[in-house]
Amino acid sequence: MVDCVNKKMIIDVLFIGFLGLTSVLSQVPPFTEKCESGLYPPDSNWSIPTYVVNLDLPGEERWTEVMKDRGPQIRHLLSMFKQFIRDFGNRTEKIIKFVDTNGEKMVSTLPYADEMRGIANATGLPLGEVVFYNVFYELFTFCTSIVAQDSSGKLFHARNLDFGLFLGWDVKTDSWTITEALRHTIVNIDFRRNNKTVFKSVHFAGYLGVLTGVKPGVFTLTMNERFNIDGGFMGVIEWILGDHSGQWMGFLTRQTLENSHSFEEAKKNLTNTKMLAPAYFILGGTKPGEGCVITRARESAVDVWCMNSSMWYILETNYDHWQKPLFLDDRRTPAHKCMNTLTQKKVSVAGIFDVLSSKPVLNKLTTYTALMQVDSGHLETWIQACEEPCFPW
């Protein structure tokens, strides 16, 4: 698989986005964090459509309707990303050529290969680009996830999905170009078998893994990236170079939502399955106190942090909960501040939406806010945008 590409070239491309960091830091505005209130519901123009994916169909046919509606946005997004890579010189063209001509070799190593082939057929994209599209969501993801319990013990699970750090800062519009393009691809998916919902999830159309999902009446699940030398970029490189022993994060979450039938079964699966990269899995159940953050290394969990009798919520961004967050990216402190301002008595879809709409929990990388309630199987998703002044992340 790697006869036309070498490890150094892959590393060069994976890290090219970091070159714009100094420029972006100069854009960081001063402001005092404010806990928002009364923002729910947003204008209906920011709502997300829901599609049904029938798991009884052959994989090649499952995403036809979604691709019919969202194929142009996916093609546009990939063309932007390819141009972003090309801007760093002729050497990177070899990566693009490799991806375009080795799709079948790459897809054969991944779950949902038939679904990827179906997406390629429906959009006219090279199969290699569909594979690449499904891989790069393992990187550049900043998130905030919350599981909260109201005064009656009812559990809510919500998250902001922040994506696109270092992927094309536009100095004219003070925005991330890839983040802006991603907002046009967001969809809710109702996965059904025998005409019954198996689970619901939020997707960037064309991405087959799951970052946000609910199995009605059983559990809720979100995934946040964990920045650690043990995995991440290096895990992707190892996969390209032929080591396929670990599971992709987003594919593991989808398989968990599809195949696990209890909170404890899901927790065990997310704790012990070998992975390609470290991650945080935020898991919510149906009973009071069933909320956990599973901090993963590649081999297994290094920590499972669960709600106890003195806790009414649990919150995770992108840093180990026992460590201080990076000073340039402290979304944790204002998120805690706003949750405590909300209070347990006001925990609801509306209340948590306000918390996740408070800066810098809401920032220029935020693509969407998702709100879930496990008992009813409720999932709603809203496109987010951050008005100035706003942190780049």
Of the residues 135, 168, 193, which one is the last residue of a structural domain?
135
Judged by DSSP in three states, 110 sits in coil
Of the residues 89, 112, 135, which one is the last residue of a structural domain?
135
CATH of the domain at 307: 3.60.60.10
- The one-digit pLDDT tens for each residue of the chain (393 residues) are 434 344 444 444 444 444 444 444 445 555 567 999 999 999 999 999 999 999 999 999 999 999 999 999 999 988 887 777 776 666 666 666 776 777 788 888 889 999 999 999 999 999 999 988 888 776 666 799 999 999 999 999 999 999 876 666 776 777 888 889 999 999 999 999 999 999 999 999 999 999 999 999 999 999 999 987 665 556 666 666 666 667 889 999 999 999 999 999 999 999 999 998 899 999 999 999 999 999 999 899 999 999 999 999 999 999 999 999 988 899 999 999 999 999 999 999 999 999 999 999 999 999 999 999 999 999 999 999 998 889 887
Domains identified in the chain, total number: 2
The answer to whether residue 388 is domain-embedded is no
Do residues 224 and 318 lie in contact, with contact meaning Cβ atoms separated by under 8 Å? yes
Selecting among 35, 143, 338, 386, the annotated active-site residue is: 143
Catalytic residue status for 143: yes
Q: How far is it, in rounded angstroms, from Cα 161 to Cα 211?
A: 8
Clarify whether residues 271 and 371 are in a common domain: yes
Which domain range does residue 125 map to?
A: 7-23+58-135
Q: CB burial class (10 A; 0-12, 13-18, 19+) of residue 311? A: middle
Clarify whether residues 223 and 275 are in a common domain: yes
Do residues 248 and 147 lie in contact, with contact meaning Cβ atoms separated by under 8 Å? no
DSSP structural state of residue 248: P
Do residues 185 and 192 lie in contact, with contact meaning Cβ atoms separated by under 8 Å? no
Closest to 211 (Cα-Cα) out of 258, 275, 156, 161? 161
* Strands 186-193, 50-54: pairing kind: parallel
The answer to whether residue 393 is domain-embedded is no
Tokens 């995995």 belong to 231
Clarify whether residues 243 and 366 are in a common domain: yes
Do residues 149 and 314 lie in contact, with contact meaning Cβ atoms separated by under 8 Å? no
Q: What share of the chain is helix, strand, coil (3-state, %, to 5)?
A: 40, 25, 40
The answer to whether residue 92 is domain-embedded is yes
The answer to whether residue 353 is domain-embedded is yes
